[in-house]
């Protein structure tokens, strides 16, 4: 018996090694794709390795959605989440994502009124930012976006402003300019099949209309919503979510790829096989020990039989 058990263990180990080698070979054969970037200042080239018949939809992370095997674009200062949706000839999709930072070595020192000011730095998550006008009064139009590491804001009034960000200091001259189209951005969150989103940009003029549209990757409208804060549901899949803001001076839009994952149903509880196996095994052991006790006229097998029976009863009571 001992030799048979040893042989069985060796057979299991050898079989496990073959399975492990096969799984490693399969994982190495399936190459892991990623978004490749080539960056020169604000100019960035985005590429991804494609197989025959595949196409790509890019979410550039700044509100633009484009198609093509590669993208050459220019970013303003910021920290962007780039997504690539690879679509095979059969319609299957693969979702890739990466971050890219476009940082300025020196802050911008001038901006037009009603235009967005952006200065992206490597400052940590909770810096000290102070902004004062030329009279020394505190100004609140400039803030630090920790998620994107950007000093950003839209100035309403002309003049010279002084900025302190931890140990950095610079001044900003705000020049006069006409009112321009709304500045549009939004953040979206997914909970099950529910999509919620709200604008995060500070509109450069009064917004008179917020129009949301959810489209499939082919551009067909799936759902529409009117209102500042979005709330809608959709089936699992990958979509393009777009917000269009309209104001007195015109309109502007911002788009983002969102993915709704299917929510798996909880698996039903499987019956615990130990409920039937262990009490029965202990009961059988108790019976054998009682027979041994009767045959040998010894108290020790009887005591062991009583212990096995007690444990079996306690297990049944616990599981019931």
| Chain CA centroid to CA 199, Å | 19
Residue 319: count of CB within 10 angstroms of its CB: 12
Regarding whether 82 and 47 lie in a shared domain, the answer is yes
Residue 302 is predicted with a pLDDT of 67
Locate 297 and state its tokens: 């006229």
Regarding whether 167 and 128 lie in a shared domain, the answer is yes
Over residues 79-123, the pLDDT tens digits come to 899 999 999 999 999 999 999 988 888 899 999 998 999 998 877
- The predicted model gives 282-287 an average pLDDT of 70
Regarding whether 237 and 287 lie in a shared domain, the answer is no
- Check if the beta carbon of residue 151 is closer than 8 Å to that of residue 118: yes
Average pLDDT over the chain, rounded to an integer = 82
Quick check: is 46 in a domain? yes
Quick check: is 15 in a domain? no
pLDDT band with cut points at 50, 70 and 90 for residue 278: low
Regarding whether 163 and 203 lie in a shared domain, the answer is no
Q: Which of 263, 284, 300 is the last residue of a domain?
A: 263
- The predicted model gives 265-277 an average pLDDT of 57
Quick check: is 94 in a domain? yes
Residue 180 is predicted with a pLDDT of 85
pLDDT band with cut points at 50, 70 and 90 for residue 290: low
Quick check: is 4 in a domain? no
Regarding whether 255 and 283 lie in a shared domain, the answer is no
Strand segments (E) across 6-123: 36-40, 43-47, 55-59, 65-67, 70-74, 78-87, 93-102, 110-112, 117-120
Domain that holds residue 65: 32-102
Strands 168-175 and 110-112: parallel
Give the Cα separation of 197 and 232 in Å (integer).
Answer: 9
Q: Which of 122, 147, 175 is the last residue of a domain?
A: 175
Of 54 and 181, the structure prediction assigns the larger pLDDT to 54
- Give the domain CATH number at 63: 2.60.40.10
Regarding whether 154 and 123 lie in a shared domain, the answer is yes
Length of the chain: 320
Regarding whether 255 and 221 lie in a shared domain, the answer is yes
Regarding whether 166 and 197 lie in a shared domain, the answer is no
Residue 149 is predicted with a pLDDT of 83
Quick check: is 3 in a domain? no
| Percent of the chain topping pLDDT 90 | 54
Distances (CA, A) of 27 to 17, 30, 31, 32, 97: 15, 5, 7, 9, 21
Give the Cα separation of 302 and 308 in Å (integer).
Answer: 10
Residue 232 is predicted with a pLDDT of 93
Residue 262 is predicted with a pLDDT of 79
Quick check: is 204 in a domain? yes
| Tally of domains within the chain | 4
Residue 1 is predicted with a pLDDT of 42
Residue 222: count of CB within 10 angstroms of its CB: 15
Quick check: is 169 in a domain? yes
Regarding whether 198 and 140 lie in a shared domain, the answer is no
Of 236 and 77, the structure prediction assigns the larger pLDDT to 236
Over residues 130-149, the pLDDT tens digits come to 999 999 999 999 999 887 78
Residue 242 is predicted with a pLDDT of 97
Quick check: is 14 in a domain? no
Regarding whether 226 and 155 lie in a shared domain, the answer is no
Locate 97 and state its tokens: 């994502």
- Check if the beta carbon of residue 57 is closer than 8 Å to that of residue 85: yes
Residue 74 is predicted with a pLDDT of 95
- Check if the beta carbon of residue 256 is closer than 8 Å to that of residue 265: no
- The predicted model gives 265-288 an average pLDDT of 63
Give the Cα separation of 271 and 257 in Å (integer).
Answer: 43
Residue 85 is predicted with a pLDDT of 97
Helix (H) or strand (E) holding 162: strand 159-165
Over residues 164-174, the pLDDT tens digits come to 998 889 999 99
Q: Taking Cα atoms as reference points, which of 93, 91, 44 lies closest to residue 70?
A: 44
**272 has pLDDT over 60:** no
Over residues 203-253, the pLDDT tens digits come to 888 899 999 999 999 999 999 999 999 999 999 999 999 999 999 989 999
Regarding whether 284 and 245 lie in a shared domain, the answer is no
Residue 301 is predicted with a pLDDT of 67
**DSSP state, residue 138:** B
Residue at token pair 């633009």: 64
Q: Taking Cα atoms as reference points, which of 80, 46, 51 lies closest to residue 63?
A: 80
Of 124 and 243, the structure prediction assigns the larger pLDDT to 243
Encode burial over 67-85: b for 16+ CB neighbours within 10 A, e otherwise.
eeeebeeebebbbbbbbbb
């Amino acid at each position: 018996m001992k030799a048979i058990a040893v042989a069985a263990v060796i057979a299991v180990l050898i079989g496990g090694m073959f399975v492990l080698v096969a799984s490693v070979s399969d994982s190495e054969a399936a190459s892991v794709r990623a978004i490749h970037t080539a960056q020169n200042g604000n100019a960035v080239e985005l590429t991804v390795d494609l197989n025959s018949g595949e196409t790509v939809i890019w979410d550039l992370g700044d509100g633009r959605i484009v198609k093509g095997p590669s993208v050459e674009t220019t970013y303003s200062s910021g920290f962007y989440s780039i997504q690539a949706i690879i679509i095979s000839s059969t319609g299957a999709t693969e979702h890739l994502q990466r971050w890219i930072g476009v940082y300025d070595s020196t802050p911008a020192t001038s901006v037009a009124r009603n235009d967005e000011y952006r200065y992206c730095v490597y400052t940590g998550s909770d810096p000290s930012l102070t902004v004062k006008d030329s009279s020394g009064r505190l100004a609140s139009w400039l803030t630090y976006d920790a998620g994107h590491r950007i000093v950003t804001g839209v100035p309403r009034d002309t003049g010279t402003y002084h900025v302190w960000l931890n140990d950095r200091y610079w001044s900003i001259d705000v020049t006069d300019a006409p009112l321009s189209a709304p500045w549009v951005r939004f953040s979206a969150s997914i909970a099950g099949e529910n999509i919620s989103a709200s604008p995060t940009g500070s509109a450069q003029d009064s917004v008179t209309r917020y129009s949301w549209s959810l489209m499939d990757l082919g551009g067909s409208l799936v759902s529409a919503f009117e209102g500042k804060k979005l709330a809608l549901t959709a089936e699992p899949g990958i979509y393009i979510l777009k917000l269009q803001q309209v104001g007195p001076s015109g309109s502007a839009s911002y788009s983002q790829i969102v993915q709704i994952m299917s929510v798996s149903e909880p698996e039903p509880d499987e019956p615990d096989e130990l409920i039937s196996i262990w009490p029965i095994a202990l009961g059988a052991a108790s019976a054998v020990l009682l027979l041994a006790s009767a045959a040998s006229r010894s108290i020790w097998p009887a005591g062991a039989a009583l212990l096995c029976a007690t444990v079996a009863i306690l297990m049944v009571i616990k599981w019931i």
